[in-house]
Amino acid sequence: MQTPHGKTARALFLVLPLLWCAACDDAARNAPVTTTTPAGQSTAPAANAAERRDTALVRVVHAIPTAATVDILADDRPVFQKVSFKDVTPYRELDGQHYAFTVRAAGLAQGQALATNREGLDDGDYYTVFALPGDDAEPVLRIVEDDHARPADGKARLRVVHAAASAAEIDLYAPGRDDALVGGIDFRSVTDYDEIDPHTGRLDIRPQGVDQAIASVSDVRLEAGKTYTVVVVADGRQPGRLEAFLIEDETAASPSTN
């Protein structure tokens, strides 16, 4: 028979991990986020700092190989200008509200919109606007919320963006592992995040159910505590071929008071 003391101890044993997780999430919201891409590095304000300013944090990924340099507008106001293919912009603070996001050719003040999408932004949250190729010549915009809370202890967090019109469903593999890290990825989809074991080496993109890679990301180091986005695109010089690049996001280890 369990004593009242034993019941209390068991209750504390169950509650303490939840309190620890809540403390970790709060620390993460007080820490800036550093993003690393093939083009370099940038740092975004902490979520709580943006929330106090009544702003959300937004960035753009240009994944349309046939599009020239573009501008991204929020309610007809250019907020990201001269964004080139495979660019990942730094996060920018925007007032937390609903916006009509529009992509058009760069520098054309009265240019025709190539694609439009509406999204409501919440104060203190992070978002990525993905400019993706469509089924035909028309591009599409996907606005997705980013998760910068720290992954579980010893884990990395990973999602995949499929922006290559020439490929059907694809899988993402780490060579030497039998199961896909992320599988069954449809064209124009942005997958949910998966928590995975750290990995160093290469990542392969394969057609679903096929053993041979059709594109790879080399010299990858997926580290515990960080969040990664693999963006699969058509090769801008050879549209029938695929290539991929990696976006790394890291929440600072120590809380920020900014």
Tallying the residues shown for the chain, one arrives at 258
pLDDT in tens, 12-65: 455 444 444 445 566 789 999 999 999 999 999 999 999 999 999 999 999 998
Nearest to 197 by CA among 159, 226, 224, 230: 224
Topology of domain 149-251, per CATH? Answer: Immunoglobulin-like (2.60.40)
Query: What is the secondary structure of 131-177 as a DSSP string?
Result: EE--SSS--EEEEEEE--SPPSTT-EEEEEEEE-TT--SEEEE-TT-
Domains 35-146 and 149-251 share a fold: yes
Summarised one tens digit per residue, pLDDT across range 52-75 is 999 999 999 999 987 789 999 999
- DSSP symbols for 236-249: SSSTTSEEEEEEEE
Residue indicated by tokens 């035909």: 136
What pTM was computed for the model? 0.87
CA-based end-to-end distance of the chain: 52
DSSP 164-225: -TT--SEEEE-TT-SS-SEEEEPTT-BPPPEEE--EEEEEEEEETT-SS-SEEEEEEEE-TT
Question: Domain residue spans in the chain?
Answer: 35-146, 149-251
Q: What is the pLDDT along the chain (258 residues), one digit of tens a residue?
A: 555 555 555 554 554 444 444 455 667 899 999 999 999 999 999 999 999 999 999 999 999 987 789 999 999 899 999 999 999 999 999 999 999 999 999 988 777 889 999 999 999 999 999 999 987 768 899 999 999 999 999 999 999 999 998 888 999 999 988 899 999 999 999 999 999 999 999 999 999 989 999 999 999 999 999 999 999 999 867 767 899 999 999 998 643 333
Are the CB atoms for 114 and 105 separated by under 8 Å?
Answer: yes
CATH code linked to domain 35-146: 2.60.40
* 6 secondary structure, DSSP code: H
